[in-house]
Structure 1
Amino acid sequence: MAFRGPKVWLWRWRRNPLKRRADAVESWVLLAAWVLTVLCGVLAGLATARTVEQGMARERVEWRPVVALLSEQAPGTADPRSGTSSTSEYVWAQVRWSARDGSPHTGQARVRPGSGVGTPVTVWTDPQGRLVTRPATPSEARTRATLVGGLAGLCAASVPFVAGRALRSRLECNRIDNWGYEWARFGPLWGGRTTG
């Protein structure tokens, strides 16, 4: 087991007559890798979160609820006593609606089982009249933006982190090779020179 002395802060940048050029290079590589890791992670995370939140805010402004009518009988049966479906799940059925410009559209929407032809259903559409999901509320948008931004930040931060680790590993291999070379060169000179 190797002896480890007390931990000294910033030891990589202190003056030391035994410190080689490779040690100095390694210290700056580590510093640059950590700074780039933090910067890339934070900047990518914030930019992604802002973009996601702005996109969802735009959806809340542009997407509109439209009343569509069932164009076919919905599968399943409804409970006639309560007016609700016999199961709590919705089913897919064909609906039709008119876009803002008056053009007719059809598509699949989730409806209560057993709903009849002509039953009104609220669907959400984009400016072109295509079916979309209900837009996220501001709090849902913040949560999604935070999660996506955090994931993007971690992915972006991993690039300089892994590159720094790979470069440090390469420097370590070079340092060990140099030690071997120096030992092979000077080790034999020490043999038989002990006094006793």
Structure 2
Amino acid sequence: MNRYAFLCVAATLFFCGSLLSGSIPKDLPKRGKVTVSPNRTLTWEDFKQVDVIRGKSSINAICLSTCEVEILKVHTYPDHIQLEINAKIQLQKDLSQVSRDFLSRSDEATKKQVLHHENGHFAIAQIIGYRIVRDVNGRAFDPGQYKAQLNGIIRENFKDWKRLDSQYDAQTTKPRNADAQKRWDAFFTSELLDLRQTIYP
């Protein structure tokens, strides 16, 4: 093998080795993730049956979720750091409740409508998780302040969570408004799709 052929083979082997090792491209996007539990549409089996919710017989059901953020990886650069996080959305089964009286006295259409509404609250929790990941991805954090800066992002999104939950109930259940529910359903679908495409293009 002549010297030129040897150099070509060596260059090819180096290039292939670089691809296999993940060094090309040099800076792959650092993307966080969202995990949802349960990762499906909620059923009444996901709710705890109780006699009264929050001491009010007028409340048929309530859906409560948590969003826990964990740092998966810290990427260090000369003047900043970037974070990969996991936003964990978890339905809280003991706190997500349905009235036994409501289940026993309501027809199937009413129970289906109320369950559909409660799934909207679960969708809002997922939206918040994705927004937190979106706001963290690619952000240059101060190496000495990144935990405080991350907490600030979480707090701002939690404020939006409370606002969205309140608006959702006010517009769809006080009184029940089927048209408003359809508008919120469309928002949930489009917002989750946009957020996923932003994070995982």
TM-score, reference length from structure 2? 0.32
Greater gyration radius = 1
- Bigger relative contact order (CA 8 A; separation at least 6): 1
